[in-house]
Structure formats: C-alpha cells, structure tokens
C-alpha cells in the first residue's frame, strides 16, 4: 500500500503501543542545548536513571551564549551556570558536545544539518519548538518539553500520539525578490497560526523541488508557527548532494546503501493524505508581519488591516495587535520607521541567507540611527562567511558582525531590544516582548527585506531598494 514518508518513518520507529493509546516512539537522534535540557539531567538523577544512548545524543550551546563575548565566565552568571551544568552533564554521560572551543558550535538546528547528523528517514527530538527545521531532510522532527527530554535521555523513546499529514503543494514559480521566508509566512497567513494543530506538514510541489536545502529548512523551521508540530520535505537528489561528505554522513559502501534507503523513505506516488492544500507560487509577495503573531502578515505593498472592517474576534485581535505595535489601521506598512535590524536565527542564519544579502548590501550603508546586527547561525557559517569576505561586506555597511548563537531572536543573551524599539527581523516570532523588551516590537521578514529596512531606516520593498528584477 502506498504510504507517506511520515507513515513509513513512524512505523519504523514504533516500539509499542502504551496503555494510554499513545505510541512509544524511538527517537533516533536527540539534540540538546543549555536552556531546556540541564533540568532534565536533574530529573534523571532524582529517579536514578542514566542516559540510554549517549552516542545518539548531541549537545551544543545557542540560546544564551553572548555573541559579543567569547571568554568565560560570561557576564551573566545565570547563563554561565547553565552552560557549565550542561557541559558537566554531557561529560559525565559521554555525550558529544559541540562546545565553542570545537569550532562546531551554533544554533542546534543549524549544527545538526551542517554536521550531517540530520538524515532522511530518522526521528529527531529536541527541547525546542523549531526542531521541525530538520524535516527539510525528510526526517520526522519535533520539539519537546523538558520532562520529555528526560524520557528521551533515559530511554531514547517518548510517548507521542500519531499526527495526521497535510500535504501543502506550492506550484509554479516564485517571483523575483520572493524568498523561502515569504513562502512560509504566506502559508501561515493562509492556514492560520493554529491551522496545523494535530498535523505534520508535507511541503511539496515545484517550488520545494527547486529549493536548496537551506531554503527548505527555512520553511520547515516555521511549521510550528502554523501550529504543526512537524513539517518535512521528501528527500531527493538535492538532499543527498547536501549530505555527501559531511562529518556524520555515511561513508563508502554505507553511503550507497543509505541513499537507497533514503530514496525509499519518500512518500509513495498515490499515497493518501488527511488533507491537501495547493497554492500558486506566483501569488506570493514579499511578506511582512504587522501584528503580534506570525500569522498576522501582509504583502509589503498592502496596508495595515483596519479593525473597523473586521468582525468579532478578528477585530479584537487586530485592535490588540495594533495597540501593541503602535501602528495605524489602513496605513501602508511600507515606510514604518525601524530602530533595529536583526539578521540571523535558526530560520535565516545560514550561509545562503548572508550570501544573498551581501549581493545587495555591497556599497550600501545602514541608515543613521539604526542598530544593525548580523549573527551567523553557527561557527561554521561564520567561518564560511569570513572565507568569502561576506562578513566584511556587512561590517563595511555598518552591521555589527557577531559570533554564533540565537541572539535577538529570543533575547536570552545580552542582545535585546530596548523600550518600544521596532525591529526588522529575519527570525520566527513577533510575540509581545519576544525580543527582550516587554514593549519591544518585531516585524518578521526575509533577510533581504531586513537589509532593505536597514539601509533605508524603514520597512521597505527590497525589490525597489535593490532594483530586483527577473534574474
């Protein structure tokens, strides 16, 4: 019988059915970091449990590492304590730790793929909701809480209810100046921030077939912003080419065997889905958010919604969002003055993101009064950018070029908005207070749109600013 990738991977990793009816699912790869995992080791100690499969567990530090300080102890004693706690627990348990001294540290969702740890047909769990990123490789990857991290550490399994599968096809061609980030913001806007509850999203169609692995990761990354716990793209030649030769990728005869298995993991032609949604790529515009959740987005050419024209619930949501964002109903979003430009995060902190921006940023300057920071997603990304001279382009333009980490995406480190500053951000969430100030404001957009905002000092259409035409 024809099956989806989800179905195949789920069944290959099913250990047994638990009394509650949930599945005991084998977690092939467990990724851990310093914010949600140290507490799990404490819970293990309380129960007298040990790490079951340390060789299938990989750690790094990303959420709270300062991006402008390398030497320890860090200025923030709490951050310093959490990192030391994780380092100690990993050493005691024999877990590979991509620490800053290894040159392989970075945002966990960038490090996994970069190292070749993220592979098709696998299950991946991590105490971070953006774990869905790894689905770009045809893995079933999802975020978990700390008690579940304890479960995975102790048993390499967890209790989970099976998800339904919705196939989202985006067909046709994207217009020039429209990026993967715009595709996912458009999907979330169309299906809603809770439209994916209970589903894994299978992204497919012309656009995804043409996308690079990094573009696929950007889309899968924000699945959770649409309520879907997991999102994936079927593995293909693009996937295999990306993985070949990476440190943890299979080698020699193992490589051929693995590729054959990976190929067979893809959804079968004619398999049944719980739901199918089709979208036209040509209808997607450079998209920006205007509100306080990632579903509150509009094309850059559109006006800010007017609550007077909405009804009931929607009216209340728009009013709440506009009051927080200090934006005027009916006004164009274009021209909204910004204070900060942030380029980075697990959504858009990869080499191609910085490469694409550098193409346009050369010879430009960040507008006076705008604080612009660029944060490579990993030390590996930082190194490649340095080799290609990309960091210099950013610095020459007036960006601060930082060390790897999550940085101002969630502002657990010293990179924070101040007061009600407005940030043009390539990250994934525009929740109230998300970027570190209780009144700070976030507008989500693609990296090139962040660059356009940085050089003009206001939310702008990058196609006009940089003269993007059919390329």
Site for other proteins in 6-25 (CB under 8 A): 12-16, 18-22, 24
Q: Could you say whether residue 157 binds other proteins (CB under 8 A)?
A: yes
Give the nearer residue to other proteins in terms of CB position, either 382 or 440. Answer: 440
Closest contact distance (angstroms) between CB of 157 and other proteins is 5
Site string for other proteins, 180-199 (x = CB under 8 A): -------------xx--xx-
Q: Could you say whether residue 154 binds other proteins (CB under 8 A)?
A: yes
d(CA 343, CA 123): 29
Closest contact distance (angstroms) between CB of 145 and other proteins is 3
CA-nearest of 357, 326, 352 to 447 is: 357
Closest contact distance (angstroms) between CB of 188 and other proteins is 11
The pair of three-digit structure tokens given for residue 195, joined into one six-digit string: 């439209």
The piece of 207-215, 364-372, 424-432, 460-468 that touches other proteins (CB under 8 A) is: 424-432
DSSP string, 142-186: EE--HHHHHHHHHHSEEEEPPPEEEEEEEES-PPTT--HHHHHHH
436 and 416 Cβ atoms separated by less than 8 Å:
yes
Give the nearer residue to other proteins in terms of CB position, either 22 or 102. Answer: 22
Q: Could you say whether residue 433 binds other proteins (CB under 8 A)?
A: yes
CA-nearest of 198, 106, 93 to 153 is: 93
Between residue 49 and residue 68, which ones bind other proteins under the rule CB under 8 A?
Answer: 49, 52-53, 56, 63-64
User: Binding other proteins by CB under 8 A: which of 229, 350, 402, 441?
Assistant: 229
Q: Could you say whether residue 144 binds other proteins (CB under 8 A)?
A: yes
Q: Could you say whether residue 85 binds other proteins (CB under 8 A)?
A: yes
Contacts with other proteins: how many residues (CB under 8 A)?
82
User: Binding other proteins by CB under 8 A: which of 73, 94, 103, 145?
Assistant: 145
User: Binding other proteins by CB under 8 A: which of 170, 385, 410, 455?
Assistant: 410
In DSSP terms, which residues pair with 58 in a beta bridge? 31, 96
204 and 6 Cβ atoms separated by less than 8 Å:
no
Give the nearer residue to other proteins in terms of CB position, either 319 or 396. Answer: 319
CA-nearest of 328, 329, 331, 325 to 441 is: 325
| Preceding amide of 371 cis, omega within 30 | no
Instruction: Please give the radius of gyration of the chain, using alpha carbons only, rounded to the nearest integer.
Output: 21
Give the nearer residue to other proteins in terms of CB position, either 284 or 327. Answer: 327
CA dist 359 → 397, 425, 467 (Å) = 12, 19, 12
In DSSP terms, which residues pair with 213 in a beta bridge? none
330 and 306 Cβ atoms separated by less than 8 Å:
yes
User: Binding other proteins by CB under 8 A: which of 119, 336, 348, 403?
Assistant: 119
Give the nearer residue to other proteins in terms of CB position, either 199 or 401. Answer: 199
Q: Could you say whether residue 158 binds other proteins (CB under 8 A)?
A: yes
Q: Could you say whether residue 122 binds other proteins (CB under 8 A)?
A: yes
Between residue 294 and residue 313, which ones bind other proteins under the rule CB under 8 A?
Answer: 313
Helices (H) and strands (E) in the chain, counts: 17, 19
3-state secondary structure of 235: coil
The piece of 98-106, 358-366, 385-393, 410-418 that touches other proteins (CB under 8 A) is: 410-418
Q: Could you say whether residue 420 binds other proteins (CB under 8 A)?
A: no
344 and 377 Cβ atoms separated by less than 8 Å:
yes
In DSSP terms, which residues pair with 458 in a beta bridge? 337
Closest contact distance (angstroms) between CB of 336 and other proteins is 22
The pair of three-digit structure tokens given for residue 371, joined into one six-digit string: 């604080």
Closest contact distance (angstroms) between CB of 97 and other proteins is 17
In sequence order, which residues have a C-beta less than 8 Å from that of residue 308 and are 6 or more positions away? 315, 329
Site string for other proteins, 335-374 (x = CB under 8 A): ----------------------------------------
The piece of 81-89, 281-289, 376-384, 390-398 that touches other proteins (CB under 8 A) is: 81-89
Closest contact distance (angstroms) between CB of 331 and other proteins is 23
Q: Could you say whether residue 415 binds other proteins (CB under 8 A)?
A: no
Q: Classify the C-alpha dihedral 193-217-413-342 as positive or negative.
A: negative
């Amino acid at each position: 019988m024809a099956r989806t990738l989800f179905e195949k991977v789920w069944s290959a990793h099913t250990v047994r059915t638990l009394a509650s009816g949930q599945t005991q699912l084998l977690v092939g790869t467990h990724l851990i970091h310093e914010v949600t995992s140290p507490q799990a080791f404490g819970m293990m100690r309380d129960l007298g449990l040990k790490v079951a499969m340390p060789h299938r567990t990989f750690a790094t530090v990303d959420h709270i590492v300062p991006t402008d300080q390398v030497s320890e102890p860090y200025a923030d004693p709490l951050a310093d304590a959490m990192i030391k706690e994780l380092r100690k627990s990993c050493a005691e348990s024999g877990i590979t730790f991509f620490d800053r001294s290894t040159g392989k540290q970075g945002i966990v969702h960038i490090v996994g793929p970069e190292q070749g740890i993220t592979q098709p047909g696998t299950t991946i769990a991590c105490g971070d909701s953006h774990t869905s990123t790894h689905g770009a490789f045809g893995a079933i990857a999802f975020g978990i809480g700390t008690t579940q991290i304890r479960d995975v550490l102790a048993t390499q399994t967890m209790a989970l209810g099976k998800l339904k599968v919705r196939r989202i096809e985006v067909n046709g061609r994207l217009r020039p100046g429209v990026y993967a980030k715009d595709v996912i913001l458009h999907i979330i806007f169309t299906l809603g921030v809770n439209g994916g509850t209970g589903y894994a999203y299978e992204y497919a169609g012309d656009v995804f077939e043409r996308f690079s692995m990094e573009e696929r990761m950007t889309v899968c990354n924000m699945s959770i912003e649409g309520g879907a716990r997991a999102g994936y793209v079927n593995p293909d030649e693009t996937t295999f080419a990306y993985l070949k030769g990476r440190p943890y990728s299979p080698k020699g005869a193992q490589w051929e065997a693995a590729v054959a298995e990976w190929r067979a993991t893809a959804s079968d032609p004619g398999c049944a889905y719980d739901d199918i949604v089709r979208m036209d790529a040509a209808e997607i515009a450079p998209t920006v958010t205007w509100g306080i959740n990632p579903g509150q987005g509009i094309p850059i050419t559109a006006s800010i919604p007017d609550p007077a024209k909405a009804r009931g619930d929607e009216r209340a949501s728009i009013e709440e969002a506009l009051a927080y964002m200090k934006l005027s109903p009916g006004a164009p979003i274009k021209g909204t003055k910004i204070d900060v430009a942030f380029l980075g995060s697990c959504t858009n902190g990869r080499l191609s993101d910085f490469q694409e921006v550098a193409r346009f940023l050369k010879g430009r300057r960040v507008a006076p009064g705008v604080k612009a920071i660029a944060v490579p997603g990993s030390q590996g990304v930082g190194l490649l950018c340095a080799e290609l001279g990309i960091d210099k382009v950013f610095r020459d333009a007036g960006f601060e070029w930082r060390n790897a980490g999550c940085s101002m995406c969630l502002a657990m480190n010293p990179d924070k908005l101040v007061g009600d500053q407005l940030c043009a951000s390539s990250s994934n969430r525009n929740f109230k207070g998300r970027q570190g100030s209780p009144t700070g404001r976030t507008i989500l957009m693609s990296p090139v749109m962040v660059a356009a905002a940085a050089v003009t000092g206001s939310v702008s259409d990058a196609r006009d600013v940089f003269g993007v035409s059919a390329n």
